[in-house]
Amino acid sequence: MILQAHKITLKCNNKQATYFAKACGVARQAYNWALDEWTKEYQAGGKPNEMALRKKLNSIKREQFPWMLEVTKNAPQMAIMQLGEAFKNFFAKRANYPRFRKKWIDDRFTLTNDQFLVKDSRIRIPHLGWVRMRESLRFIGKIISATISRAANKWFVSITVEVAQGTIAAVNENQVAVGIDLGLSTFVTLSTGEKMPGPKPLKTLLCRVRRLSRSLSRKHKGSNNRKKAQMKLAKLHHRIANRRCDAIHQATTEIINKFDVIGIEDLNVKGMVKNHKLSRSICDMGFYEFRRQLSYKAALKGKRIVVADRWFPSSKICCCCGHRMESLSLSTREWKCPCCGNFLDRDINAAINLEQLAVSSTVTACGASSNGQWLQQPL
Ligand SMILES: [Zn+2]
């Protein structure tokens, strides 16, 4: 069994948005209160723990924080439990000392599965009732928790589901936004979980290129044999280019037809960091060709491409809870988020982060946003 999270945009009205903001405020306040208490107790020689702090908050909130009663009790409780997790990670040297949550940056609260209900494309929240979601839950399995968060003035719910391995979502045709991660091990990974391996027969053709180039270098300059060999080599290069181009055409057309908003990363980083080997130039060319085709097809069909700037750490952010890893080695294909405990596939996680960036950039404005930019013209 693995945990999978599906982040869905909420279509909430003003009353619901106000409630969410309030619940986030309560969660933030409880978290910061507990962090403060924890530090003080520890400095006084005590041994603080999250369970005691939750009990303590419960006993004083009626008098000291009466507004906490206006939202689900999960908001403060889960926040303090998350602080406990943060300290666990700190003591295990996986993370820094927990920091205070900030408004706008850490706006989120979590509900346990006994506190909400998901039905089709609606979610029922205590004190509030049904809230509409932009799509229905993608995964089938036992629902574990839901985290409601705000980004760029939009509200999202991330529902964590325990699913059997190998049942990661198929492509949802109604989905309008997608994120794309380009890589060496898998050429194209979509935020829907779909992976496109890229053109395969390249390897055998490349061997022939090498053999031909060697034999070419042995031929006398100006000889007929040399001309013949040159022609052969040129044809082979052409074939390789065609084959690669076909695969890329297929992939880009499929993506453009299916999705309206497409998040993709800046290629400079990848090109420099990821490829050290022989395949470097070939891969680079593939990435640029992929982007070039995607851009002009998007322009033709009126679709939008949002390019994350080169500092956007798409691989290092947990797509479920937003936790940011300090470092993540290139060989790590799967990792467990120390904050929320979800298992993440490196490429899919990066693709989901790019999708979320694309969605929030679309919401923010037309033109530039803080962490994404429109690609106005085909490259
Ligand atoms: Zn996480």
Q: Using an 8 Å Cβ cutoff, are 141 and 162 in contact? A: yes
**How far does residue 270's CA lie from ligand 1's centre (Å)?**
23
- Kindly tell me if the per-residue pLDDT of 120 is higher than 60: yes
Q: What is the pLDDT of residue 303?
A: 81
| Active-site entry in 107, 181, 289, 345 | 181
According to the model, what pLDDT value does residue 370 have? 34
Chain-centre distance for alpha carbon 332: 16
pLDDT given at position 202: 64
| Percentage of the residues of the chain whose pLDDT score is greater than 90 | 28
The span from the CA of 48 to the CA of 46, in Å, is 6
Active site residue 173: no
Tokens read off for 43: 């400095």
- Give ∠ CA 55-58-64 in degrees, rounded to 5: 130
Band of residue 164 on the pLDDT scale cut at 50, 70, 90: low
Please tell me the least confidently modeled range out of 53-62, 221-230, 269-278: 269-278
Residue 133 alpha carbon to ligand 1 centre in Å: 21
Which two three-digit tokens encode residue 149? Answer: 């968060």
SS3 173: coil
* In the predicted structure, residue 80 carries a pLDDT above the cut 80: yes
Q: State the distance from the centre of ligand 1 to the C-alpha of 62, rounded, in angstroms.
A: 31
Query: Does 122 score more than 90 pLDDT?
Result: yes
Q: Is the pLDDT of residue 330 over 80?
A: no
Determine the pLDDT at residue 320. 87
Question: Is 164 or 249 the better-scoring residue by pLDDT?
Answer: 249
| Band of residue 191 on the pLDDT scale cut at 50, 70, 90 | very high
Q: How far does residue 317's CA lie from ligand 1's centre (Å)?
A: 8
Does the pLDDT of residue 342 top 70, yes or no?
yes
Q: What pLDDT is stored for residue 16 in this prediction?
A: 93
Distance 324 CA to ligand 1 centre (A): 8
Average per-residue pLDDT in the chain? 80
**Residues 325 and 340 sit within 8 Å (Cβ to Cβ):** no
How far is it between the farthest Cα atoms of the chain?
97
For residue 182, pLDDT over 80 is answered with: yes
The token pair at 338 is: 């120390």
Res. 175: pLDDT tops 70:
no
- CA of 365 from ligand 1 middle (Å) equals 28
Catalytic residue among 265, 289, 345, 355: 265
Sequence-distant (≥ 6) Cβ neighbours of residue 74 within 8 angstroms = 109, 110, 111, 112, 115, 126
For residue 265, indicate whether it is catalytic: yes
pTM for the whole thing? 0.47
Q: Which of 37, 107, 289, 347 is catalytic?
A: 347
Question: Catalytic site residue 254?
Answer: no
Residue 323: DSSP 8-state: -
